[in-house]
Chain A
């Protein structure tokens, strides 16, 4: 039989007719032999010995799943696949350009918080618990909140989302935590939960090129993506996952178009100390015409700032002294637009402080209470950073043997705190699809299989991206008619609990 196979292969190379001849001849003239092979069993070993010498030579470089990107989406996907009984036997490699050692051995310093934080919805939190990752999260570094105050900086119209409307046990709207805490938890989980085969984590390794595999005579890998790594190795993937962020090389390889636009805004982030630890579980967001400013609670009287503003203001805010910066953050939550604009034009620390105190003292007395967050007193050194904000959405998330997740597939404005959660939603959905395919025996890289993932996630993400984009546009103006319309709209929503509940449910389950 081995001889027969080899001869047939040679003939194909020679002219093409040989392959047909092989099929014509073999079953009919060697029926005893063929019957044995029909039954598998004893002929199985003989078959694999002759079937592919190429296979045994390159088996170690073949993976079922190769994930590019060791961020939260990529690591969650690896952890999720390993936690499922149907996919735990998959051979998985994760390639990350940066070293992951520091994230893996991270032990939190109570006085310092990273400026990269995420809001995790209850749905994402449930998923992380389900796959066993949440147990590895430092709980003291997680701050749930069950109250959200959002208001219009121009008209003062307010909306108050109270967690009890959700009707859940604790009314948690979302959990705030550092991305590092999650990354650490994911790496610990992967490290601690034994799996066979274990996830091969190739960190500090860059993907230098992605090409298609080779067509050997006895094994045709021309549909398999082949990744040339900076270590000199080449690995091939049955399914290649792009979890490689906004400028995804995997997406570029798959030739998938990503559409969208840049908001003329930068997101300025910083880790802050509040005046005292008031243990209120409130997230604050005020829409200024230059962009929304959000203050998100962190444990121990800390908070995280996400201030979307013009690139010019972002640069200015980064250049100010720590104390002047804190004053401006306080001003941005409390003062009127004219006052704020004036303060933003000053640079002298003392002048800014005195001017703010004078103006703040003149605020109407009812503005106190729970209208504003308590004051910010300190910004952690070196925690101010900014990045351009944009909206991007890919035409598709899948191609043969390719799937994109998280920021590689879509990028959104941070105003709704959904970035991480949309990615987690992608991961959960893709895992379901891969699970089903593995259980059935379908090829997990098959486009028909992967299309189910895209069909499930695209509409959900598209709607969320669209709503966030419209909100961003609606609030980035002080043009009076628009302000009037949005104020009435917000007041109507504020008076209708069921609408608020619907909005919260949408955001919590995304």
Chain B
């Protein structure tokens, strides 16, 4: 029996071949990296075969991912900003009649240990949420942590899946006698700068959003300032971010993301799909205060919201 991972790769190759030529060309114009898996750095842990001390390793990881004063502290601190970004944007830009502002069906890509995913599952406006991640051990942490909250255990709103976005079957669109099954919102927080081919990931995300739905993302601009703050100061000097978390060359400029949507998703003839970039904001981490929307969106970290028009 082939290992599941190999199977995943296989599916992906098939997907690549199924892409239209136009898609392939555009993919390679913007990010000249070969299309590949949604691939996180953390995945490397799981490449090792299972050993006797896997469980203790997993436990060690569990304790740091959710340790609010541990290496993931900045991620924990960013969570409220992510949540308000999502719901403030929906409230502000969607007409109440058009948006299903309550009972959202959501997909959290690159959910990690589930910091955002759990919050969304508890959020009264969310009807269901699926968290997907590529890393077995981190997803196991998420599964374990979910059990710490009876509301999540009994609520039935939260589901985790170990798979790449590209492997996730595209939900059925609405048709005669068929309910809309695509997501109301797909979140890609701190994901795009970790994947080798962000274009493919974005494309896959857009395919899974219903008309009128949303993509919420955050990533980092590929600027000298971002190198200085996120890598040099964050990882090397202050060490508030685990070393090796970021790779500067994988950062994505806000303008590039914007252009991707304009070129691929705005009035592309025949695609029948239109996307608007409705909001994009720079954010910074202020020590002792937390993450704030402040500063230009093309300098360091930024949040981004795009909406698929009805």
Contacts and interface: CB of A to CB of B under 8 A. Distances in A.
A38 B161 contact: yes
B50 A55 contact: no
B144 A441 contact: no
B159 interface: yes
Given A17-B54, A20-B136, A40 B157 contact: yes
Nearest to B73: A448
Interface stretch (A200-208, A217-225, A244-252, A468-476): A217-225
A277 to B, nearest CB: 52
Interface string B43-80: 00000001000110010000000001100000011011
B83 A52 contact: no
B18 to A, nearest CB: 17
A223 B147 CA distance: 11
B177 interface: no
Interface stretch (A22-30, A317-325, A364-372): A22-30
Interface stretch (B113-121, B185-193, B240-248): B113-121
Interface in B187-240: none
Interface in A28-70: 28, 31, 34-35, 37-41, 43-45, 47-48, 51-52, 55-56, 59, 62
Given A27-B161, A31-B169, A19 B76 contact: no
Nearest to A38: B130
Contacts of A40: 105, 127-128, 156-157, 159
B84 interface: yes
B297 to A, nearest CB: 23
Contacts of B55: 15-16
Contacts of A443: 118-119, 122, 149
Interface residues of A, number: 48
Contacts of B153: 51-52, 55, 218-219
Contacts of B105: 39-40
A128 B29 CA distance: 63
A202 to B, nearest CB: 20
Nearest to B133: A23
Contacts of A104: none
A44 B103 CA distance: 14
Interface residues of B, number: 53
B267 interface: no
B154 interface: yes
Contact of A441 (B50, B126, B156, B181): B126
B140 interface: yes
A293 B122 CA distance: 53
Interface in B254-276: none
Contacts of A47: 156
Given A38-B159, A39-B171, A441 B120 contact: yes
A176 to B, nearest CB: 38
Contact of A440 (B58, B119, B149): B119
Given A27-B161, A41-B128, A446-B68, A55 B154 contact: yes
Contacts of A28: 4, 7-8, 163, 167
B68 A448 contact: yes
A62 B148 CA distance: 12
A506 B147 CA distance: 46
Contacts of B181: 39
B143 A51 contact: no
A17 B50 contact: yes
A415 B184 CA distance: 58
Interface string B145-176: 00111100111110111110001010100000
A136 interface: no
B34 interface: no
B84 A35 contact: no
B136 A23 contact: yes
A219 B122 contact: no
A447 interface: yes
A62 to B, nearest CB: 6
Contacts of B7: 28
B231 to A, nearest CB: 24
Contacts of A24: 4, 136, 162
B35 interface: no
Given A17-B54, A218-B147, A436-B80, A23 B128 contact: no
Contact of B150 (A45, A62, A442): A62
Contacts of B87: 440
B156 A51 contact: yes
Contacts of B111: none
Contacts of A26: 161
B299 to A, nearest CB: 26
A55 B150 contact: yes
Contacts of A17: 50, 54
Interface string A372-399: 0000000000000000000000000000
Given A16-B58, A23-B162, A40-B157, A220 B148 contact: yes
B80 A20 contact: no
B124 A23 contact: no
Contact of A20 (B76, B140, B157): B140
A27 B162 contact: yes
A15 B169 CA distance: 32
B252 interface: no
B240 to A, nearest CB: 14
Contacts of B50: 17, 20
A52 B163 contact: no
A448 B4 CA distance: 37
B298 to A, nearest CB: 28
12 contacts: A23-B140, A23-B162, A38-B130, A38-B171, A39-B181, A44-B157, A45-B156, A52-B154, A59-B154, A440-B87, A441-B120, A447-B68
| 5 A-B pairs closest in CB distance | A441-B123, A40-B128, A16-B55, A441-B122, A44-B156
Given A23-B139, A441-B118, A443-B122, 10 more contacts: A15-B55, A16-B54, A20-B137, A24-B4, A39-B171, A48-B155, A51-B156, A219-B147, A436-B80, A441-B123
